[in-house]
Every structure is written in C-alpha cells, then in structure tokens.
Structure 1
Amino acid sequence: MSKPLRSRMERIGESANATTLELFFDLVFVFALTQVTALMAETPTWHGLLRGTLLLAVIWWPWIGYSWLSNLVKADEGTARVAMLVAMAAMFLLALAIPEAFDDLPGELDGPLVFAFCYLLVRVVHLWLFWIAAEDDEGLRAQLLRFLPSVVGGTMLLAIASQTSGVTQTALWGAAVVADYGGTYLSGTKGWRLNSAKHFAERYGLIIIIALGESIVAIGVGVTHLPISWPIVVAAVLGLTIAGSLWWSYFDTHVLLCERALTQAEGDERVRMGRSAFTYLHLPLLIGIVMLALGLKKVLGYVGGEKGHTLADPLYGPPLWAMYGGVSLFMFGYAAVAWRCMRNLKVQRVVLGVVLLVLVPLVSYMPALGSLGVLTLLLTGLIGYEWVKYQELRGAIRHAAHE
C-alpha cells in the first residue's frame, strides 16, 4: 500500500543546506530578472523604470513563498519535488511573458493574461503544497488561511490589469503589489515556521549572487553585437569591479552576521526577523542590482558606439539614475537589514547612498565612461575603508563562522 500524500515529504532540520532543486528553481528566476532588465532597456523612461520595479516586486513574491516552503520541507523529496517542477514550469512561462506583461504583442495568446494566469498557477501550487506540508500543525494552517486573501487579491488585480492599459494598468499593478505585501504583513507571523536559519540565510544569499550574475550578463549582452574595443574593455572591467564590490559588501561579513542573528533568535522572533530582514528588506537589494544592470548595459552600448553614440556622450536621465540610484538603494537596503538583524547602524553605507543620489546631476554632464569610473571609485573606496578600519573584527567574524 502506498504512503499517504502528506507522508511523502520530509521536514528539514536546523543544519539543512539548499538543495540542487532549489538552485535549479533559481535559474528560472534569473531568466525572469534578465527579461525585466531587457524590457526596461527597451523603454528607459521613468514610467518604464516604474513598471520594471513593479515587475520585480511581483515576481519576487512567489520566489519568497517557495523559500519559506522549502524551509519547512525538503524541496527535492517526494511530492515537493514534483510540485516544485510544476511551479518552475509556470515560472518559466511567466518569465517568457514578461515582454508582454503590460502590452500585448500581435499573436495568438493575450500576453498580459498569460502572465497573470502563470502567476496564479505558481501561487496556487505553493499554497496547495504548504497546506499538505502543514499536516497537523493547526497554527500553520490557520496562518495559511489568513494569508489566502492577499493571494486572491493580488492575482485578481493582475488579471483585471491585463485587460487595461496605460496609467490605469500601472496603478492596478501597484494595487496588486500592495495587496500581496500589505495583506501578508497584516496577516501576522504567529503561525509561520522557520526551521533552519542557516538554510534560510543561504537561500537569500544565493539569490543575491544570482542577481549579481544577471548584472554581469547585462555587461556581456550589452556589447555582443558590437566590435571589441579598448573603451568596451575598460567599461567591462569597471562594471565587473562594481559587481564585485557589491558582492564583497554583502558576503564578506554581512551575511555571516545576519545568519548568526537569525540562528540566535527563537520562536516568533525568528519568524519576524526572517520576514522583515529577508522577505521584505532584501527586495531593495534585488531591485538595486537589477537597476545597476540596466545602467551598465546602457553604458556599454554608449562606449561601444551603439546607435551613433560616441565616447564623449554622457549617460543621463533614467538610465543614469538607475545605475547610481540602484547602488544607492542597495546600500540603504543593506543598512536596513543590518539594523533589523544586529541593531547596528551602517553609517558609511547610508552616507554613500546619499552621496550617490546627490552626485547624479553632476555626473550627468560627464562622458558615460567617466560616470561609470566615478561609481567604481566610490564603491572600491568604501570597501577599502572598511577593510582597513574593521580588519581585526572582520577576521574574527570570518574565522568564527568556519569553526
């Protein structure tokens, strides 16, 4: 006799690591990020940036749902494995529909409606699997019921938005994000479970790596159709240095301290920290990286002579704000996560975030390569300052993490 459906899933322990299936799932997510960057690059206007931000917020929410689910049961065991693969298929189709998420292109299917339907399918599979995984945990099942209205509200608003256009459509997308994020927040944390702080922190660290990888892809994609030249080489190295600086700023000690804080927290406090510091406050980090990728892509096109641009042409307007503002948003998000987890105010990060915003009007008169160089100099300067100032503390934190 076969086992009941609920017995085919295995709970994870405190020392669990991310599974290969979760990493496979993330590959679909990185494709979605690439699609969003390409969409914003086609229409680099303020409205285009707003729509790109809304897209990132929408696709982030299903991903975080599965990060919580896979912290309860192993993603690659039994029923969870099949459900994750189904969700991956839906997420991949959703990513394919991103170029038509707002404006339908001539063809057989309605692009915005396909996007909304795939989003619904990803959410339904998540809720169904979570309900089964809850088994006899009445607290978790009660929380899922409190969570349900936000899912219904968000998906319904996206479906309605698919049949509209222009400002009305953008407003409905904004309302869908508010319904999902606000409804989840108002439903509380009482019944959620966070079994492994190590696994949870690792999942979010991996998604930051994936986003940074997307920024590197943007560097390459921006010049694939252009002949290689010294300006392209210099811009590519500077772009890679910026991505490396963001990696350093997050993974050198920050992620270790956040994981430690999450491990030390217990019960509902661990759940609240996971929700605020990771589920909500990692979204600005992700948006910042994708906006940076958009700026890098534009700079590479400029220095490569795309569309008649020359080395003397400045990067200005939304693409410049995306590049500098994206890194600024990353710094603010980083500082917010550090404050929530460790009650440690990262003054230098906040200061850099403000400085970057102040500099935008000034560097808008510089050649695109020059504005990229200034950004690189500021980021490497921050890394160098922290490396010298906190050298002994860094060593203690990193060595303690490996003991």
Structure 2
Amino acid sequence: MTEQPSPIRVWYRPMRSRDREEHHRVATPLELLFDLCFVVAVGQAAAALHHALAEGHAAHGVTSFAMVFFAIWWGWLNFSWFASAFDTDDVPYRLATLVQIAGGLTIAAGVSSAFEGDFRLIVAGYVLMRLAMVTQWLRAARSEPECRPAALRYAAGIVVVQVLWIARLWVPGTAGAVAFVVLVVAELAVPVWAESSRGTTWHPHHIAERYGLFTLIVLGETILSATNAIKEGTIEPGHTGALISLAAAALVLVFSMWWLYFDRPGHARLVRRPTMFTSMSWGYGHYFIFAAAAAVGAGLEVAVAYDTGTLHLGGVASALPTTIPVAVFLLSVWLLHIGPTNECRPIAIGFPVTAVLVLAASFTPAPIHVAAGLTAALVVLTVVASHGSRSPV
C-alpha cells in the first residue's frame, strides 16, 4: 500500500469543494487555533462593555459593543463557512488563515479605542481579515469551475464593501452611524447574492460544530465573571458571602444556558430544510446568541461591583445588564433551535415565558439568583417534557 502524504508535506492542493456528505467532518486544529485567537477579541469587547455599563453609559456601551462584536462575529463566520466548503489545509491556505488571525488580533487591540469613537484600528484589522478571504475565494474560483460564479461574486462583493468601510472613517457623526448600518446590510447581502448563483458545499454537521465551539467561547466569558466574583470575595471580607452566592448563581446560569443551547442538535434544521433561507437565517441569527452570551459576562461583572458597593447604580439598573442578554439568548435559541411551532408545546412555550420572567427578575431583591433559578427550571422542563420522545439525529 502506498503511503499517503501527510497534509504538512503537501504544500499546495487545488481548492476543490468538500463533499457535503463527508463522514466524520470535524473541526481541524487550525480552526481551533483560529477560535482561540478570537477569544482575545471577545474578551476585550466584553471588558469594554462592562466598563461602559459600570460608568453609567449604557446606551453608548451597548451600541459600541454591537458594532465591535459585528466585526468579530462576521470575520469568524466567513472563515468558518468557507472552511466548511473548501478547506484544503495546504500551505497557502494556512498562511491566509494566519493573516486572518492577525486581523482578528488587530481588532482586539482596537476595541478600547473603538468604544471611544476611534475605529481606525478595528477597520484595519477587519479589512485585513476580509481581504485575506478574497484570496481564498479567488483560489476557489480558479480550481472549482462549478463554484466559480459564486466565488467571484464573493470576491468582488467583499472588495467593494471593504473600500466603503475605509471611506466610512471620514464620515462623521450621525451620517457615520447610518453608513455603518448600510454597510452591515451590504456585508450580509454579499453571501445571499453569491449563493444565489450556485450554493457552496458547506457541511451541516461541521457548521453546527463550529457554531457550538464559538458558543462555548462566549459562554466562557460568563464563567470568567463567576470566577472574578469568588476572587473579589477573597479581598472584600465584608462581602464574601454575597459574592460567593453570586458566583454560584452565575455558574448555574451559564450551565443552564449551555444545556439549553446544546440540548437539541444544532445541525437538525440545516439537514431537514437545507434551503438558502434556512442556512442564512440560522447562521445570521446566531449573532444574537453569541453577543448575548458574551454580554452576560459583562453584566455579571456589573453585579459583582454592585454587591461590593463600588457601583453607583441602583439595583434594577445593575441587574438589567445580565437579565436582558439572558432573555435575548433564550429567545434566540428558541427561534433557531426550538421553533414556536415545536411539537412539544411545553418546550415551545417555556422558552419565551422564561425569557419574560427573567426580565421581570430584574425588579426582585436577588435578580441574578432568580434568573439562574428560572433558567435551571427551564432545563428541568425540557428534560421532563422531552423524556422518551426524542429520536436520535
């Protein structure tokens, strides 16, 4: 039997489409490294949001966080879907991924200045990431005739939008904010336009795994906040009991969020209804899941500051930074994984009802604890309601 060359010794391969039905299609070590580098950007965005909320600048903080997180999420999303369809793991592919990682780290370095209104560094990192994707799409267009129309549309659309992102840096005030929204719509429209010619062969199970891994990354921000609560308890003797209790509630909260997201196979909808609308709505809708999960960590940091008496906000104002993103997370998981018309009515109804109750928990004396209890109760409901009725996927 002839020995097959290892991927490292093959320096170049034609960039052919991967088989959509390929068995055992899992995340590669390079994809995991890519995710690891994006942890830095997510952490910087969550930390900047926490500082803005703690200083009472909620509207500015949330707006800046949403803008910064779009750059992080969109760069990650485009890499992941492209890799699902065309990953060759040869030397040029790895080097292009290295450039994208450099762009992601540049975005992380520019988060603080972006919250102060200076987006130059973030745009530099973002454009670097996106132009690296152009080289990948041009390789795909050259090697894969069937996907050439879509690949060329991707490349052309990305280049045009990046030029506009750079031009936006000189657009001030309200006009700049409007331009940002217009360019976000343009970015979202490029895949819709490109895939309408001939869809790329992304792998449903692989995409679901990639999204699950990024969900774990953003949930990690919440775990970090729970850890900070315990650390603060060791240096704030007068608040030790309250902070340890808060840490326990935060741990229950993040575990419940993890359970609810992964309770249903993420690829199920992509396999059952593999239309462009299904894949786009599922892929784009995860922005709210990812951003909400990362924001929960920032909210818990605010709750820690409130319990230690270092925050000049009221109880409700210090609770909302946690309860609002938890509610958004629950509603987003409900829409993308469960569905309002789910055959199991207790589960279909339980998610939106719990989201409303979590928001109402903001007005209770112990909002984080109540929110944690409500999400844990929803976990119990899903386990009991689906017992014996779930078929393996």
Q: Same fold (TM over 0.5)?
A: yes
Give the match for residue 94 of structure 2: 81
Say yes or no: does 1:197 pair with 2:208: no
Q: Report how many aligned residue pairs link the two structures.
A: 372
Report the Cα offset of residue 35 of structure 1: 1.0
Give the match for residue 92 of structure 1: 105
SS in structure 2 at match of 1:140: helix
SS in structure 2 at match of 1:393: coil
Give the match for residue 30 of structure 2: 21
Give the match for residue 263 of structure 1: 271
Q: How does 1:310-325 map to 2 (within 5 A)?
A: 314-317=314-317, 320-325=319-324
- Does structure 1 retain, via aligned residues, the 8 Å contact 2:141–2:149? no
Which amino acid in structure 1 is aligned with residue 67 of structure 2? L
Give the match for residue 384 of structure 2: 388
SS in structure 2 at match of 1:64: helix
Which amino acid in structure 1 is aligned with residue 316 of structure 2? Y
Partners of 1:156 and 1:331 in 2: CA distance: 37
Partners of 2:212 and 2:39 in 1: CA distance: 14
Residues 99-133 of structure 1 deviation map (CA, whole Å, 9 limit, x = unaligned): 112536xxxxxx52221121111011112112213
Report the Cα offset of residue 75 of structure 1: 6.0
Give the match for residue 355 of structure 2: 353
Say yes or no: does 1:220 pair with 2:227: yes
Q: Structure 1 pair 75/139, CA: closer, same or farther in 2 (3 Å)? A: closer
Residues 120-165 of structure 1 deviation map (CA, whole Å, 9 limit, x = unaligned): 1101111211221344434422123333465345434432443455
In the superposition, the TM-score normalised over structure 1's length comes to 0.82
Say yes or no: does 1:137 pair with 2:141: no
- Does structure 1 retain, via aligned residues, the 8 Å contact 2:225–2:298? yes
Instruction: Give the gaps of 5 or more residues in structure 1.
Output: 105-110
Give the match for residue 147 of structure 1: 154
- Does structure 1 retain, via aligned residues, the 8 Å contact 2:229–2:244? no
Partners of 2:49 and 2:11 in 1: CA distance: 47
Say yes or no: does 1:284 pair with 2:288: yes
Residues 227-267 of structure 1 deviation map (CA, whole Å, 9 limit, x = unaligned): 15121111111111100000000112x1x2x32443355xx
Q: How does 1:23-172 map to 2 (within 5 A)?
A: 23-44=32-53, 45-74=58-87, 76-103=89-116, 112-148=119-155, 150-152=157-159, 154-163=161-170, 166-172=173-179
Partners of 1:171 and 1:195 in 2: CA distance: 33
Give the match for residue 304 of structure 1: 308
Give the match for residue 273 of structure 1: 278
Which amino acid in structure 2 is aligned with residue 191 of structure 1? R
Partners of 2:39 and 2:350 in 1: CA distance: 30
SS in structure 1 at match of 2:316: coil
Give the match for residue 230 of structure 1: 241
Residues 377-400 of structure 1 deviation map (CA, whole Å, 9 limit, x = unaligned): 111111112212222125xx4xx3
Which amino acid in structure 1 is aligned with residue 113 of structure 2? E
Instruction: Give the gaps of 5 or more residues in structure 2.
Output: 1-8
Give the match for residue 333 of structure 1: 332
Q: Structure 1 pair 320/187, CA: closer, same or farther in 2 (3 Å)? A: farther
In the superposition, the TM-score normalised over structure 2's length comes to 0.84
SS in structure 1 at match of 2:119: helix
- Does structure 1 retain, via aligned residues, the 8 Å contact 2:149–2:194? no
Q: Structure 1 pair 195/175, CA: closer, same or farther in 2 (3 Å)? A: closer
Partners of 1:176 and 1:149 in 2: CA distance: 15
Partners of 2:229 and 2:173 in 1: CA distance: 28
Which amino acid in structure 2 is aligned with residue 40 of structure 1? L
- Does structure 1 retain, via aligned residues, the 8 Å contact 2:256–2:376? yes
Partners of 1:264 and 1:192 in 2: CA distance: 17
Q: Structure 1 pair 195/116, CA: closer, same or farther in 2 (3 Å)? A: closer
- Does structure 2 retain, via aligned residues, the 8 Å contact 1:223–1:300? no
Partners of 1:249 and 1:261 in 2: CA distance: 16
Q: Structure 1 pair 62/341, CA: closer, same or farther in 2 (3 Å)? A: farther
**Stretch moving more, 123-132 or 242-251:** 123-132
Q: Structure 1 pair 322/173, CA: closer, same or farther in 2 (3 Å)? A: farther
Give aligned-pair identity as a percent.
23
